[in-house]
Amino acid sequence: MPINILSLPSKDLQYALDCMDIGDLVAFSLCSKRTKNLVESSNRQLYRFAVLVYENRIRFEMDVGTIETIYDRVFLDIFDFYIIRLGDRTQVWMRQEFNRSDWIAHLMNIFNDSMITFLSIENDSLSYLDTIKLFFSKMSHPSYQ
């Protein structure tokens, strides 16, 4: 029998969010504004938030755990209006109204207090740096805040 997760008491809803892996939290946050706010308020902390920028996509690698033990890892490839979750449970999430900057902002918002711990630009074209700056326009270097 299906249960409407949003009708659960707040304590049970928080427990359900705590049991979700990072990929499930991202998928849940895309359902509605309310679910996005619930994921943000769950305060899930990431150990490592790596970004690899390629010419046709941006890969987010997110880890939960410690330096000794990573117990949750997800790889997301971001394209213009969709994300592909890679791994044993490959999934595609689409939002026609989103572009790469929107996806990045969404991911950074739902994991509030997260900072990119590793950034790699996998393209040797200097002209592409302006495009990268547009993708990450809402971000700033910590020493410049």
| 109 located within any domain | yes
Give the pLDDT confidence score for residue 73 in this predicted structure. 86
Q: Which domain holds residue 103?
A: 46-139
Residue 106 has pLDDT above 60, yes or no: yes
| 19 located within any domain | no
| 95 located within any domain | yes
Residue 58: in which H helix or E strand, if any?
A: strand 58-65
| Number of folded domains that form the chain | 1
| 10 located within any domain | no
pLDDT band at 2 (very low <50, low <70, confident <90, very high): confident
Residue 6 has pLDDT above 60, yes or no: yes
| 30 located within any domain | no
Helices (H), the chain: 10-19, 22-29, 33-41, 100-110, 128-135
| 70 located within any domain | yes
Q: Which residues contact 139 (CB under 8 A, 6 or more apart)?
A: 104, 108, 116
| 62 located within any domain | yes
| 99 located within any domain | yes
% of the chain residues with pLDDT over 70: 82
